A and B are shown apart, each in its own frame.
Chain A
Amino acid sequence: MTTTPLGAPVLQVRDLGVDFAVNKKWVPAAVGLNFDVAAGEVLAIVGESGSGKSVTSMAILDLLPKNARITGSVRLKGEELRGASASRLRHIRGNDIAMIFQEPMTALNPVYTIGFQIVETLRLHSALSPDQAKQRALELLEMVELPDPAKAYRSYPHQLSGGQRQRAMIAQSLACDPALLIADEPTTALDVTVQAEILDLMRNLRDSLNSAVILITHDMGVVADLADRIAVMRRGVVVEMGTSQDIFGNPRHAYTQELLAAVPHLGGAEIDITAALVQATGAESLVHDVTAEALKQRELENARRAEITQRKEREEAMAASRETPILELVDVAIEYPKQGRMPAFRAVEGAHLVVRPGEVVGLVGESGSGKTTIGRAAVGLLPIAAGKLTVAGVDMSKHDRRAMGQLRRKVGMVFQDPASSLNPRLPIGESIGEPMFLAGVAKGAALQRKIEDLLDQVELPRNYRNRFPHELSGGQKQRVGIARALSLSPELLVADEPTSALDVSVQAHVLDLLQQLQAELKFACLFVTHDLAVVDLLAHRIAVMERGHIVEQGTRDAILRSPQEAYTQRLIAAVPLPNPEKQRERRELRALLLEEHARTAS
């Protein structure tokens, strides 16, 4: 895995610098970059947003906006790209250098079929008859492991799932056998489970094709078992560069160490996920680094602890049943009403869920599983169709105005996308103060004082009160969102994927903050996410959702130590590990789980 193929590098970058004109001044975005990528090699460029990693890849393709200035030299197979003619560059793009974008929905044209778009790429760059091109397109779709290539060929982008769309994107970028493939955050917009699948695919493709690959990401976990070499970028400068082994095994720069630490570690130090998974699959032979006996020992230990937690859980449940829950769902169904010819869609069915005071419950599932729907219903943004929903003593089964009014002071919500959840025309102080102002809690100077207190709580400077959302970074905006949700001291906080739009490093800080605040203010929290590792730190209990049903719930330890449902096991196995060796084991375990799943399904 680590052997770097010999021979001339496909891409040679020397002294590459990018500056942007801002306020009539050149502001550096990337400075003095030097790297080579050889055929068959994967170079990962890792860094936070704003570190200049995407800018670098765009500079290679010369796709930067007009206010950018590129300096230095970029050589593709010995040919200098800087200063090459526009038509030559056009020929190179797509033919010699292909790119996989972050968001497959926006990168694919929604009004053409997948097949049409691949055939277009093929025929633009090579002399193929329409029939030959179609043949080749079908081969490509098969190569990216789409379940039914012929069907995908005829489909429009919206008819495919997110993962399938990303596969189609990859097929399109591979159409002309590019010498260099640039993947810009190829999995950031995807669920953890789908991310694992796409990473598998990219790994398989790397072995079968002989392309050089540049993988750009903010998540160290993603590159663990895919990259041969890693370059860590911070503020436009490569701070550390080395082989995957070096970077993960012996990170030298403090920044690299922090990035590694930011990757959420499922189960923490005390829960042995590998043992739990091995137990679930019975695949001892796949784990290499320990002897069979040691593994057996670990499994037994894990089983014993699982037993203990289960017993404790039962006892706790007995004790807790006397306590009134903050949020109680009994056999709840939630529907999206029919719109035009679209029939009503039942997003959640037969859901039972209890959140007790001061408890954090993680609601985990893939996109479309109905987890956000439950979160929105819990704060009264969606009516329920059947069953009984009680929130903080207010019966929400009938979605009426009075109940809503009572509820508002008792619940708060942190939204998924901080860019969309703050009104761009309101200073953030006003956004934070609005719930208090409308509830009549405080006015004038008293309100300003409360806003300052809240800003202190979320660790933002007080003078940010007069700033507008566009002047804040993503992490700061999400802190504002948290401050607003907490402004009325709610009994229940619903956090709807509050970190999925953030970098892994920022995510770590926001989660820290939430955990601190929860310990301090003791509110109950329903934490909705697609990534088990994210709730792992916070949640006391975890509920797993699949296709509108809650399939499994229990304490965090019970879920992680002995996941009963195959779906839960797959979710656990999909969480990436920032360690190449362990990640390989995990991947093989996951493949086994998927195989088993396919067998039982058929």
Chain B
Amino acid sequence: MSSQQPDRLTDTLDSREVPEDVKGLSQGALVRKRFLGHTGAIVSLVLLALVVILAITSVGVGFHGWWKYNWRQTPDIVNGGHPTLKLFPPSLGDHPFGQDTVGRDYFAMTMRGAQISLLVTVMVGVISGFVGVVIGALSGFFRGWLESVLMRFTDIVIIIPLLLLGGVVAYNSKANVFVLGGLLGLTAWTGMARLVRGDFLSLREREFVDAARLAGASNGRIIFKHILPNAIGVITVNTTLLMSSAILLETSLSYLGMGVRPPDTSLGRLISDNQAAFSTRPWLFWWPGLFIVIICLCINFVGDGLRDAFDPRQKKLVLKRVKEPDHDPLLEATQASALPGMPLSEIVAPPTAAGGSTTTIDLDEGGR
């Protein structure tokens, strides 16, 4: 358009040409970039990955890991079972985390416990995430009787006392970590369903859904192509929160003796087995506790980073690092040439009525 009427001054935002070769960043790329800039989340992600790798490779899953013991062997008790880990000079020793009362290597047990706890976490995340999203999306999009039925069903699931149910199932079935993970996953989705439904309720009223409907899009296409990508922020964030709460839930079930059964073990189980030893052999308490804290905190930090990345208004800013513009602003502004910046309305847009979690008041990405 600017080619037709080159000296038009109004509608400057329209005529402000952008360099040809600059390709727009997709929403996903924006989120990725913002997430990578969140130091806490990245550190947590790396730490979490290290814990997973350590837990899997040290004692192995089905194969033999690089650690000399596994969680079932009972070697002789050395040095009263005290941890042999030394920080200075750094050395692991024979039993870095010590030994329990019967002499099992506590490092192997803790690693096995971390494996089980992580497995439960992932199962809960996947199952409850899936069920919650499906139920929330269906009830939020179709409304009517389907919504009533699904939401009342959700209400019923909410009132199930999880500890009691866990106890009943654990006593009546052969103890199996998959049963436990599945059970937790099938009861923990209620909050997710509510949140997704809420997001769908507001998104389905947006005009782009009408536009898609007018273009002849089927309900499935509208849900998966148009609405779900816009609700992805809520879903990802809530899933991470669910996962970290699943670790605690598994811990409390195991602590009450309803979760994982010996000889297998989990972090919660380790703590409950050794609660009496707290005054005499405190390391039996500290090591699994430390790993619970690390895993939960890491997942929570990652969730935090994701939430910030999906919400462009949350922007931390270090004013000291901001540089002066290279050109004279007054001269620049009075000339008709393009400003280095973005439309002002996007920098300081007033809160508009229709703003989902994906509104793009973006402090980071506007300038090109």
Contact = CB atoms under 8 A, between A and B. Distances in A.
Given A25-B323, A32-B330, A420-B207, A65 B214 contact: no
A297 interface: no
A415 B211 contact: yes
B80 interface: no
A509 B363 contact: no
A469 to B, nearest CB: 8
A29 B14 contact: no
Interface of A: prevailing SS: mixed
A208 interface: no
Contact of B9 (A69, A255, A431, A481): A255
A521 interface: no
A438 B214 contact: no
Contacts of A259: 10
A24 interface: yes
Given A49-B13, A473-B14, A21 B317 contact: yes
Interface residues of B, number: 71
B24 A237 contact: no
Contacts of B18: 461
B167 interface: no
Interface string B323-347: 1110001101110000111111111
A106 B351 contact: yes
Interface residues of A, number: 89
Interface in A251-310: 254-255, 258-259, 262
A23 interface: yes
A22 B170 CA distance: 56
B348 A24 contact: no
Interface stretch (B88-96, B257-265, B298-306, B353-361): B353-361
A426 B354 CA distance: 18
Given A25-B325, A434-B215, A468-B26, A424 B333 contact: no
Contact of B324 (A26, A65, A412, A417): A26
B345 A423 contact: no
B230 A27 contact: no
Most buried by A among B4, B345, B364: B345
Contacts, number: 230
Interface string A472-501: 011110000100100000000000000000
A415 B362 contact: no
B24 A24 contact: no
A236 interface: yes
Nearest to B23: A466
Contacts of A380: 214
B364 A23 contact: yes
B229 interface: yes
Interface of B: prevailing SS: loop
A89 interface: no
B216 A408 contact: yes
Interface string B97-123: 000000000000000000000000000
Nearest to A434: B215
Most buried by B among A24, A58, A422: A24
A101 B199 CA distance: 28
B278 interface: no
B160 interface: no
Contacts of A426: 225-226
Contact of B329 (A28, A420, A473): A28
A51 B333 CA distance: 10
A206 to B, nearest CB: 25
B12 A470 contact: no
Given A29-B347, A106-B353, A421 B322 contact: no
Contact of B333 (A237, A422, A463): A237
A476 B207 CA distance: 17
Interface string B1-41: 10010011111111011101001111100000000000000
Contacts of A27: 325, 339-342, 347, 367
Interface in A45-70: 48-52, 54-55, 58, 64-69
B204 to A, nearest CB: 12
Contact of B208 (A20, A423, A473): A423
Given A55-B348, A470-B362, A425 B27 contact: yes
A380 B358 CA distance: 29
B217 interface: yes
A258 B221 CA distance: 44
A506 interface: yes
A21 B319 contact: yes
B345 to A, nearest CB: 4
A77 interface: no
Contacts of B8: 258
Nearest to B27: A425
A103 B354 CA distance: 12
B350 interface: yes
A524 interface: no
Nearest to A237: B333
A463 B17 CA distance: 11
23 contacts: A20-B344, A22-B341, A22-B342, A23-B367, A27-B325, A28-B333, A31-B333, A32-B330, A49-B343, A66-B317, A254-B9, A413-B210, A419-B354, A422-B211, A423-B226, A424-B358, A425-B26, A466-B23, A467-B24, A468-B27, A503-B11, A506-B10, A509-B1
Interface of A: 17, 19-29, 31-32, 48-52, 54-55, 58, 64-69, 102-103, 105-106, 234-237, 239, 254-255, 258-259, 262, 376, 379-381, 405, 408, 411-413, 415-417, 419-427, 431, 434-435, 438-439, 459-461, 463, 466-471, 473-476, 481, 484, 503, 505-506, 508-509
Which 9 pairs show the lowest CB-CB distances between chains A and B? Answer: A470-B360, A27-B341, A467-B24, A28-B329, A473-B13, A505-B10, A435-B215, A459-B1, A421-B207
Given A236-B344, A463-B23, A506-B10, 15 more contacts: A25-B340, A28-B333, A29-B348, A48-B12, A50-B343, A54-B348, A420-B207, A423-B230, A438-B215, A438-B216, A438-B221, A466-B23, A473-B14, A476-B13, A484-B215
